[in-house]
Amino acid sequence: MEREAPADLKPADVIRHAESAAPVDMRPIEITTHEAAPCRCSPCNGGRAAAAPTPLIVLGLIGLNYIPLVLFLLDQQLDGGRVVSIVFFHLFLILLLLAYFMAMCTDPGVPPVEWQRKMQQAAARGESVQVCRRSGLYKPPRSHYDSVTERLTLNMDHFCPWVVNTVGFYNRKFFILFLVYTNLTLLVAVVTLFSQAWSAWDWLQDASGAQRRWFSPGIVNTVIYVAAIVIDVVLLCMLIPFMQFHLRMAARNETTIEGYTNSKYDVGARGNLQSVFGRELWTWPLPLYFHGPDGDGLHWPTTDSLRESRTVVPRATSTLPVRSSAA
């Protein structure tokens, strides 16, 4: 027969009685996690992308590198180094285009209807809720109204004209990967094009007078090489700091709207990056949705809640013993 708690115990005595009657679980209290929504296509983004000139500029810059780096080499004898460069160029280019497509087409996320109904019920009970002045919708933490798309966007960072979409909770990963693979593609292109331009210059030094005429293949190729190198170097000088800025903001769990503040949502670099790239590390460099970012964009663990969860709190695995009817 299990022993029962005496009837005249005080609250503190009841707690001690429970701890002595049941084994103690020393695991820390865990933060409730929320799952990301399935990947959705951004509404009406096809029309904006078709009307915007920026996708054509992106494709034009890719073509400026692809033509001299790949097509011009088809008429030359390829050595091992150039083959490796072309392989990596195509690998990074494919990842770049996929990340660009996903950043452009993925819906950054808006407060779902079910959540709005819950907030409406909470407001009816007299609870404090935030309302967006522009849209009139109940406003989750870290959401902001985008005047371009006229939507209340979850964890909004900014509207990017290059991807013709708002960068928010569900597509921030793809925007950052687009920057990463753009820089990697440009680096490979600059190294390879510089080697080709150097070879073309050596060839011009040994060429005859007829081969040095303007609009001759050797002159035209060299001009294209140099122009592509100059443009790529300028882009790298702009995009590398921009990429570092966004990676640093993601690691601190901040957005460009929130700015450099002592973010209360900073739960450590790994947890912060998981809220952008997802829980599983191997999915981070791949511009695919998989299970989405860690969370739902509505509920955000804070530094204080994480600190409380890491505090070891003894808790009984069962309640006070119940009197047994058996002797």
**Tokens encoding 98:** 């996929």
Single-letter code of the amino acid located at 218: G
CA angle, 234 then 238 then 241, to 5°: 140
Q: Which residue has the tokens 């280019």?
A: 93
Q: Which of 327, 320, 321, 316 is nearest to 25 (CA)?
A: 316
How many angstroms separate the CA atoms of 13 and 6, rounded? 10
Q: Find out whether 101 and 108 touch, Cβ atoms under 8 Å.
A: no
How many angstroms separate the CA atoms of 300 and 311, rounded? 19
Residue from 44, 132, 160, 237 carrying the catalytic annotation:
160
How many angstroms separate the CA atoms of 54 and 38, rounded? 28
Would you call 41 a catalytic residue per the annotation?
no
Helix pair angle (172-206, 217-251), 10° resolution: 150
Neighbouring CB atoms inside 10 A of 179's CB total 21
Residue 89's alpha-carbon distances to 3, 95, 188, in angstroms, are 74, 10, 6
Residues 6+ apart with CB under 8 A from 326: 1
Q: Which of 134, 146, 141 is nearest to 119 (CA)?
A: 141
**DSSP conformation class of 281:** G
Q: Find out whether 26 and 34 touch, Cβ atoms under 8 Å.
A: no
Catalytic residues: 160
